[in-house]
Amino acid sequence: MSRRAFGAATLIPGVAAGAPLLLDEPLSFWGGLDPVLGAIIDRRHPQRGLNVAGRVLMMPAGRGSSGGSAILAEALRLGKGPAGILMLERDAIVVVGAMVAAELYGRACPVALASERDWRALAAAARLAVRAGPDGATIGLELHGPDARRAGRNLRR
């Protein structure tokens, strides 16, 4: 097993760890995520049926209805939200949902802005550990030998 770490910018502070889940297409939480189950329910989304609960959700950008913040907050309240979220573009809807869950329920779902050049390596990791503090974030990667190679090979381009 090898470890690496990348720097990122903190959008919402917190500490989280989990397996990465890279979205192949942007997902609107409203109409796209079932907050009670944590499942992707948008029928047009290529990853419909996958579950975001406990994963480090990698979504390059946000999409869709502004009702997404409440769905994210509700999923986090119920313990069915992602452990943390990595993005390549700032998205207000995602940030607010995570912030309100922290404020009302003390549920930390760190949101960090990663760098595009690290994105593929992050997605290929077996597990990501996000530490997002006021002065910046680090994303630690756990790469299990054979798994890591397989993950790298299977990575969608």
Partner 1 sequence: MSLDLSPLDRELLNGGHGGAAAFAMGLLARFAEAVGASRFIDIEAAHVDGCLYLGRASLDFVLRMTELDGKVRVPTTLNVGSVDLIHPELFRGRTEDAENGAKLMRAHVALGCAPTFTCAPYQSVHRPRFGAQVAWGESNAIVFANSVIGARTNRYGDFIDLCCAMTGRAPAYGLHLTENRAARALVEVDSPPDGWDPEQVAVAVGHLIGRRCGGLVAAIDGLPRETSEDDLKALGAAAASSGATALFHVVGLTPEAPDLETACAGLAPSLRLHLTADDLRQAARSLSTVSDGAPLGAVSLGTPHFSLAEFARLMPLIEGPRPLTDIFINCSRATLGELHQRGWEDKLRAARVTLVVDTCVYIGALMRVEAGAVMTNSGKCAYYAPANLGAEVAYGSLAECVASARAGKIVRL
Q: Is 65 labeled as catalytic in the residue annotation?
A: yes
Rounded Cα distance between 8 and 67, Å, is 27
Query: Which candidate in 2, 28, 65, 115 is catalytic?
Result: 65
CB of 89 to partner 1, least distance (A): 8
CB of 43 to partner 1, least distance (A): 5
Q: Mask of contacts with partner 1, 92-121, x by CB under 8 A?
A: xx-xxx-xxx-xxx-----x----------
Rounded to whole angstroms, what are the CA distances from 24 to 5, 61, 65, 129? 23, 11, 19, 21
CB of 45 to partner 1, least distance (A): 9
Q: Which of residues 117-156 bind partner 1 (CB under 8 A)?
A: none
**71 scored as a contact of partner 1 (CB under 8 A):** yes
- Residues binding partner 1 (CB under 8 A): 11-12, 26, 28, 30-32, 35-36, 41-44, 61-71, 73-74, 76-78, 89-93, 95-97, 99-101, 103-105, 111
So which residues are the catalytic ones?
65
